[in-house]
């Protein structure tokens, strides 16, 4: 039986079952794959595309090899009747934001990008992201997305996020708990999800909005930071002296704020 992870998502043109003229749905899928592959610097596996699309790998294989995707063909027929500007406008309104350290909100400052890349390459330590919540959430998600690219392996990031994944494109490896407004529910979900974090071998551990819900695990989280790099996005309410006392070495505090133009400023402070 063929191992899907060793296969490209592109149609197998040498296969006798591959159609001479693949459907426009298949063409669209392969164009999207090409764009993602260029962005990530490598070809994606069927499983990876399936995870993104919410489909199993065998379904993606079928789609890539010319399946008659009637619903997609119907949408294409509607879209192609619109002017280019209107097509782009509609897609922009439908798609969630895709945070990245190279997105304009962060990359407007070269120092922002350099600091983020340096932190993502650190093998251990604890980095605390503090500041206004929208800016904090954006930076957290940007670091999670970019961490997967910088660290290379598929399973390089794991973590928990108290929010729903309805505003930003969800980052691979992050478990979105969807309970940010209910502390009791958040605590229950975080406790259930925590064993998977401990079992994971991912070098980057990302935690957003769960610090207050899991006080009994603070020591365990700091201990984890002695062998992996842990990012904690939350206003901990600790003084600099207290942070220096609690954070494992090396420790960093990222203070973030967003201006009227939605640009995010990041001040990185090393805690010794």
3-state secondary structure 38-92: HHHCCCCCHHHHHHHHCCCHHHHHHHHCCCCCHHHHHHHHHHCCCCHHHHHHHHH
Q: Write out the residue range of the structural domain in which residue 43 sits.
A: 4-94
Residue 247: inside a domain: yes
Same domain, 198 and 256: yes
Residue ending a domain, choose from 94, 127, 152: 94
Token pair in block for residue 195: 């064993």
Same domain, 75 and 111: no
| 8 vs 162, higher pLDDT | 162
* Residue 198 clears pLDDT 80, i.e. is over it: yes
Residue 99: inside a domain: no
Residue 266: inside a domain: yes
Same domain, 127 and 23: no
Burial of 201 (0-12, 13-18, 19+ CB in 10 A): exposed
Q: Enumerate the β-bridge partners of residue 270.
A: 252
- For the beta carbon of residue 86, count every other beta carbon within 10 angstroms: 11
Kindly report the pTM of this predicted structure: 0.82
Same domain, 165 and 230: yes
Same domain, 168 and 46: no
- For the beta carbon of residue 22, count every other beta carbon within 10 angstroms: 19
Residue ending a domain, choose from 35, 59, 94: 94
Same domain, 142 and 260: yes
pLDDT at 17: 46
Same domain, 170 and 243: yes
Residue 208: inside a domain: yes
How far, in Å, CA of 269 to CA of 272, rounded? 10
pLDDT at 44: 85
How far, in Å, CA of 71 to CA of 246, rounded? 54
- pLDDT tens digits, one per residue of 101-133: 999 999 999 999 999 999 999 999 999 999 999
pLDDT at 151: 65
Same domain, 111 and 238: yes
Same domain, 108 and 89: no
CA nearest to 258, candidates 102, 109, 92 = 109
Same domain, 138 and 263: yes
Same domain, 179 and 208: yes
- pLDDT tens digits, one per residue of 214-234: 999 998 999 999 999 999 999
Residue ending a domain, choose from 94, 113, 147: 94
SS3 116: helix
DSSP annotation of 157? E
* Residue 9 clears pLDDT 50, i.e. is over it: no
Q: Number of structural domains, the chain?
A: 2
44-48, 128-132, 193-197: range with lowest mean pLDDT: 44-48
Same domain, 68 and 155: no
- pLDDT tens digits, one per residue of 144-194: 999 987 766 667 899 999 999 888 999 989 999 987 678 899 999 999 999
């Amino acid at each position: 039986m063929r191992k899907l992870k060793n296969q490209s998502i592109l149609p197998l043109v040498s296969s006798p079952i591959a159609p001479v003229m693949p459907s426009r749905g298949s063409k669209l899928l392969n164009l999207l794959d090409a764009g993602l592959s260029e962005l990530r610097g490598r070809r994606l596996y069927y499983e990876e595309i399936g995870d993104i699309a919410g489909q199993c790998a065998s379904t993606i294989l079928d789609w890539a090899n010319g399946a008659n995707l009637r619903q997609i063909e119907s949408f294409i027929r509607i879209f192609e009747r619109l002017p280019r500007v209107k097509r782009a406008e509609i897609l922009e309104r439908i798609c969630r934001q895709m945070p990245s350290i190279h997105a304009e909100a962060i990359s407007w400052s070269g120092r922002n990008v350099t600091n983020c890349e340096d932190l993502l390459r650190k093998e251990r330590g604890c980095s605390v992201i503090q500041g206004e919540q929208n800016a904090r959430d954006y930076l957290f998600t940007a670091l999670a997305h970019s961490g997967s690219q910088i660290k290379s392996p598929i399973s390089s990031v794991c973590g928990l996020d108290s929010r729903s994944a309805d505003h930003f494109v969800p980052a691979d490896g992050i478990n979105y708990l969807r309970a940010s407004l209910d502390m009791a529910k958040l605590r229950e979900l975080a406790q259930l999800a925590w064993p998977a974090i401990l079992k994971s071998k991912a070098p980057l551990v990302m935690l957003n909005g769960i610090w207050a819900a899991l006080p009994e695990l603070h020591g365990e989280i700091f201990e984890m930071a002695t062998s992996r790099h842990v990012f904690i996005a939350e206003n901990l309410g600790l003084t600099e002296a207290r942070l220096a006392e609690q954070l494992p070495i090396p420790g960093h505090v990222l203070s973030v704020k967003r201006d009227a133009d939605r640009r995010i400023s990041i001040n990185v402070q090393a805690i010794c």
